[in-house]
Chains A and B, each alone.
Chain A
Amino acid sequence: VHARESLPPEDLGQLFSESPVGVAVFDLEFRLTASNAALARLMRVPDSAPDRRTWERLAPELARRAMPAMREALDTGRAVTIEATSEPAGETRPAHWLIAFFPIRHLGEVVALGAFARDVTEWRIAEQAEAQRSALVQATFAAALDSIVGMDAQGRVTDFNPAAERMFGYPAAEAIGEQLAALIIPPSLRDSHREGLARYLGGGTSTILGRRISVVAMRRGGEEFPVELTVARLPAPAPTQFIGYIRDLSALQDAGAERERLLAAERLARASAERQRERLEVLSRVGEVLGSSLDYEATLREVARVASPSKSDWCTVDLLEEDGALRRVAVTHVDPARAAAAQELLTLPAPHPGGNSAITQALGSGAPVLLDFRDEAAVDAAARGPRHRELLDALGLRSAIVAPLMAREQAIGVISFASDATFDEDDLRLAAEVGRRAGNAVENARLYADTRTLAEDLHATERRLDSILGSLAEAVTVRGKDGRTVYFNRAAAELLGLSQSEVSEVPRGSVADRFVMEDEHGRPLSMEELPGSRVLAGEQPPPLLVRNVVKATGQERWMLVKSTPLIGEGGSIEAAINVLEDVTAERRAELRTRFLAEASAILSRSLDYEQTLRNVAGLLVPRIADWCGVELLDGDGDRNQVAVAHVDPQKLQLAARLREYEPQELDPEQGMGAVLRTGRSQLYGDIPNDVLVQAAVDEQHLQLLREVGMRSVLIAPMNVGARTIGAITLVAAESGRSFDAGDVGFAEQLAERAAVAVDNARLYTERATVARTLQDSLLPDALPQIPGWEVAALYRPAGHGTDVGGDFYDLWPLQASWMLMVGDVTGKGVEAAALTSLVRHTARTASQFASAPAQVLTHVNDTMRGPRPTLSVCSALCLRLEGTRGTLSAGGHPLPLRVRDGTVSELGSYGPLLGAFRDRTWQDTSFDVRAGDLVVVYTDGVTDTVGQGGRFGLERLRALLGGCGGLAPADVVRRLEEALTSFQIGAQADDTAAVVMRYRGPEAA
Chain B
Amino acid sequence: LIKRSEFEIRAEHDHEHGARLVVCGDLDLATVPELQTAFERLLSADPPKVSLDLRGLTFADSSGVRLLIELSDRAREGACELEIVRPPAEAYTVFRISGADVELPFVDG
Chain A residues near B (Cβ < 8 Å): 803, 805, 824, 826-827, 871, 873, 875, 890, 892-894, 910-913, 916-917, 920, 940, 944, 946, 948-951, 985-986, 989-990
What is the minimal beta-carbon distance from B53 to any residue of chain A, in angstroms? Answer: 22
Is the beta-carbon distance between A892 and B69 smaller than 8 angstroms?
A: no
Is the beta-carbon distance between B61 and A920 smaller than 8 angstroms?
A: no
A986-B103 contact in complex given A871-B70, A892-B97, A910-B97, C-beta closer than 8 Å: no
Kindly state the interface size class of chain B when it binds its partner. Answer: 20 to 34
Is the beta-carbon distance between A826 and B103 smaller than 8 angstroms?
A: no
What is the minimal beta-carbon distance from A943 to any residue of chain B, in angstroms? Answer: 9
Residue B30, interface by CB 8 Å? yes
Is the beta-carbon distance between B97 and A871 smaller than 8 angstroms?
A: no
Residue B13, interface by CB 8 Å? no
Residue B41, interface by CB 8 Å? no
Chain B residues near A (Cβ < 8 Å): 1-4, 28-30, 59, 61-63, 65-66, 69-70, 73, 94, 96-100, 103
5 pairs of A and B residues whose beta carbons are closest in the complex: A912-B99, A892-B98, A913-B98, A826-B66, A944-B61
Is the beta-carbon distance between B69 and A916 smaller than 8 angstroms?
A: yes
Residues of A within 8 A of B65 (CB): 826, 892, 913
Is the beta-carbon distance between B29 and A990 smaller than 8 angstroms?
A: yes
A916-B30 contact in complex given A871-B69, A892-B62, A944-B61, C-beta closer than 8 Å: no
Residues of B within 8 A of A894 (CB): 97
Is the beta-carbon distance between A892 and B99 smaller than 8 angstroms?
A: yes
What is the minimal beta-carbon distance from A606 to any residue of chain B, in angstroms? Answer: 13
Is the beta-carbon distance between A913 and B99 smaller than 8 angstroms?
A: yes
Residues of B within 8 A of A948 (CB): 3
| A-B contacts, 24 listed (Cβ < 8 Å) | A803-B29, A805-B29, A805-B62, A805-B63, A871-B69, A871-B73, A875-B98, A892-B65, A892-B99, A892-B100, A893-B97, A894-B97, A911-B99, A912-B98, A912-B103, A913-B99, A916-B66, A916-B99, A940-B61, A940-B94, A944-B28, A986-B1, A989-B29, A990-B29
What is the minimal beta-carbon distance from A712 to any residue of chain B, in angstroms? Answer: 41
Once the chains are docked, how many angstroms separate the CA of A873 from the CA of B2?
30
A824-B73 contact in complex given A910-B96, A916-B98, A986-B2, C-beta closer than 8 Å: no
CB < 8 Å neighbour of A826 from B4, B63, B99:
B63
Is the beta-carbon distance between A826 and B62 smaller than 8 angstroms?
A: yes
Once the chains are docked, how many angstroms separate the CA of A946 from the CA of B96?
21
What is the minimal beta-carbon distance from A981 to any residue of chain B, in angstroms? Answer: 16
Residues of B within 8 A of A986 (CB): 1-2
Is the beta-carbon distance between A873 and B28 smaller than 8 angstroms?
A: no
Is the beta-carbon distance between A916 and B2 smaller than 8 angstroms?
A: no
Once the chains are docked, how many angstroms separate the CA of A873 from the CA of B61?
14
Residues of A within 8 A of B73 (CB): 871
Once the chains are docked, how many angstroms separate the CA of A805 from the CA of B97?
17
- Given A873-B66, A989-B29, 9 more A-B residue pairs with CB atoms under 8 Å apart are A827-B66, A892-B100, A916-B99, A916-B103, A917-B99, A917-B103, A944-B28, A948-B3, A989-B30
Is the beta-carbon distance between B62 and A824 smaller than 8 angstroms?
A: yes
Once the chains are docked, how many angstroms separate the CA of A516 from the CA of B96?
63
CB < 8 Å neighbour of A910 from B61, B99, B103:
B99
Once the chains are docked, how many angstroms separate the CA of A826 from the CA of B30?
13
Once the chains are docked, how many angstroms separate the CA of A893 from the CA of B98?
6
- Which of the listed residues B28, B73, B96 has the most CB atoms from chain A within 10 Å of its own CB? B28
- Which of the listed residues B2, B4, B28, B97 has the most CB atoms from chain A within 10 Å of its own CB? B97
Residues of B within 8 A of A989 (CB): 28-30
Once the chains are docked, how many angstroms separate the CA of A948 from the CA of B73?
36
Is the beta-carbon distance between B99 and A946 smaller than 8 angstroms?
A: no
Residues of B within 8 A of A950 (CB): 3, 59
The residue on A at minimum CB distance from B93 is: A954
What is the minimal beta-carbon distance from A165 to any residue of chain B, in angstroms? Answer: 31
The residue on A at minimum CB distance from B58 is: A950
Is the beta-carbon distance between B66 and A871 smaller than 8 angstroms?
A: yes
The residue on B at minimum CB distance from A939 is: B62
Once the chains are docked, how many angstroms separate the CA of A950 from the CA of B28?
13
What is the minimal beta-carbon distance from A930 to any residue of chain B, in angstroms? Answer: 27
What is the minimal beta-carbon distance from A547 to any residue of chain B, in angstroms? Answer: 32
Residues of B within 8 A of A875 (CB): 62, 97-98
A873-B59 contact in complex given A912-B103, A913-B98, A990-B29, C-beta closer than 8 Å: no
Residues of A within 8 A of B1 (CB): 985-986
Once the chains are docked, how many angstroms separate the CA of A951 from the CA of B107?
26
Once the chains are docked, how many angstroms separate the CA of A911 from the CA of B94?
12
Once the chains are docked, how many angstroms separate the CA of A873 from the CA of B72?
14
Residues of B within 8 A of A990 (CB): 28-29, 61, 63
Residues of A within 8 A of B4 (CB): 946
Residues of A within 8 A of B66 (CB): 826-827, 871, 873, 916
